[in-house]
Amino acid sequence: MNTPDLPAGIMPDYRREIPAGLLARQGSWIWHEILQPGVIRHLAADGSTLLTVRILLPPNGLLSAATLRRLAGWIREYALTGRRTSRQGFEFVGVKPEKLEKLLAELEAAGFPAGGTGKSLHQVKCCTSFVHCQNAAVDAPSIAKVITDFFYRDFLQQELPAPLKISIGGCPNQCGGGVEADIGILGWYESVPEVDEERFLAANIDIGLLVSWCPTGAILTRQVKDGMVVSIDADRCVRCTSCVQVAPEGISLKKRSYVDIAVGGHGGNSYSGPEMAAVVFTRIPARPLEYKAIIDRIEAIINYWRRSGKPGERLAGFIERTGWSSFLEAIGAGGVEEPGDKPSLQTNFRRDLHFRY
């Protein structure tokens, strides 16, 4: 056999994906402006320009081969190259200005509209959930689809105070990044994992790892006749599902689930630095396609911010200016008991006297 060894050890070079002409202009860009929702124009020092068109992709970056070929076809016809964004969207880079209108019309007709730039709803990022994952508590892609449908106009126009990014993670692993977004949706299991002692004993489980990986020390070991079994302290358990990952044979989840909604997560280092989102609504039911309770709450958050936010003010900055107490009241979030931390992790309770009422 004369086939090369695997793995082949290839880290693809991104320069191969960019035509030489565009690569040669690398670093010459000095400014950019958004011409219309979804269309960005970069300006170079020498006065030349570069057009980018950003489109909406289906939730979770799931694309059939046929759609991939259409994206490739649009690049060949209208642009220099393309890129998938870090939010699972897609951009055509180097769009020919004379063909811009035709491209936008074709994209709209094909159901992949341009938008999601500047002060709009950006692509909703989510994890794969029930499409291809066993750990998901809720189905993030269908929540993303329903949210995008409901706030569709905000994807196409730039009339929010500032950019709005929504991310959805179906389980505590948060592959979808619900912890980081302006509005994050976080899937949780309702009850603590259950141990099936018979199956636990039958499987060869790394008990050391099981105990050490539990972040709260909730796994208690007990010697029985046939070996070592564990039980889970329900008061300590934070339902992170680490134990289920270590011992899927003996520990399982009762599949009752809900979502939390968190606000004010942001990356970037401009103001207070990157911050995780803060949970404002807990235990919102999220049975597949019955998402009205989620939509209502997101709408309350967006409407309040839309009404009272200053231009350019992200959700986090808006809340910092107006204060949490009035924000929670305006969006109809309940008392402190639910959003308060568990006893072991009191990091968000006030330690100064800067009260705002």
Instruction: Choose between 154 and 331: whose C-beta lies nearer to another protein.
Output: 154
CB of 106 to another protein, least distance (A): 14
CB of 8 to another protein, least distance (A): 4
Q: Pairing mode, if any, of strands 39-44 and 29-36?
A: antiparallel
Peptide bond preceding 7 in cis form (omega within 30 of 0): yes
Instruction: Choose between 178 and 305: whose C-beta lies nearer to another protein.
Output: 178
CB of 194 to another protein, least distance (A): 14
Instruction: Choose between 6 and 224: whose C-beta lies nearer to another protein.
Output: 6
Q: In the structure encoding, which two tokens stand for residue 11, read together?
A: 């880290």
- The answer to whether residues 125 and 90 touch, using CB atoms and an 8 Å cutoff, is no
Instruction: Choose between 63 and 300: whose C-beta lies nearer to another protein.
Output: 63
Instruction: Choose between 12 and 335: whose C-beta lies nearer to another protein.
Output: 12
Instruction: Choose between 64 and 223: whose C-beta lies nearer to another protein.
Output: 64
CB of 329 to another protein, least distance (A): 26
Instruction: Choose between 279 and 328: whose C-beta lies nearer to another protein.
Output: 279
Tally of CB atoms within 10 A around 134: 10
Instruction: Choose between 273 and 335: whose C-beta lies nearer to another protein.
Output: 273
Q: How many CA atoms lie within 13 A of 82 on its CB side?
A: 20
CB of 197 to another protein, least distance (A): 19
CB of 307 to another protein, least distance (A): 21
Task: Please tell me the distance from the alpha carbon of residue 238 to that of residue 241, in angstroms, as a whole number.
Answer: 8
- The answer to whether residues 356 and 325 touch, using CB atoms and an 8 Å cutoff, is yes
Nearest to 114 by CA among 98, 128, 95, 127: 95
Instruction: Choose between 75 and 300: whose C-beta lies nearer to another protein.
Output: 75
- The answer to whether residues 182 and 265 touch, using CB atoms and an 8 Å cutoff, is yes
Q: What residues contact 48, with CB distance under 8 A and at least 6 apart?
A: 25, 28
Task: Please tell me the distance from the alpha carbon of residue 337 to that of residue 343, in angstroms, as a whole number.
Answer: 11
Nearest to 100 by CA among 73, 63, 74, 132: 74
CB of 330 to another protein, least distance (A): 25
Q: For the chain, state the CA radius of gyration.
A: 24
CB of 249 to another protein, least distance (A): 8
Report the run of H or E that residue 41 belongs to, with start and end. Answer: strand 39-44
Task: Please tell me the distance from the alpha carbon of residue 120 to that of residue 117, in angstroms, as a whole number.
Answer: 6
CB of 300 to another protein, least distance (A): 21
Instruction: Choose between 31 and 349: whose C-beta lies nearer to another protein.
Output: 31
Q: In the structure encoding, which two tokens stand for residue 64, read together?
A: 């059939």
- The answer to whether residues 281 and 221 touch, using CB atoms and an 8 Å cutoff, is no
CB of 123 to another protein, least distance (A): 10
Distances (CA, A) of 274 to 167, 260, 265, 324, 343: 16, 20, 8, 18, 25
In the chain, the amino acid numbered 54 is R
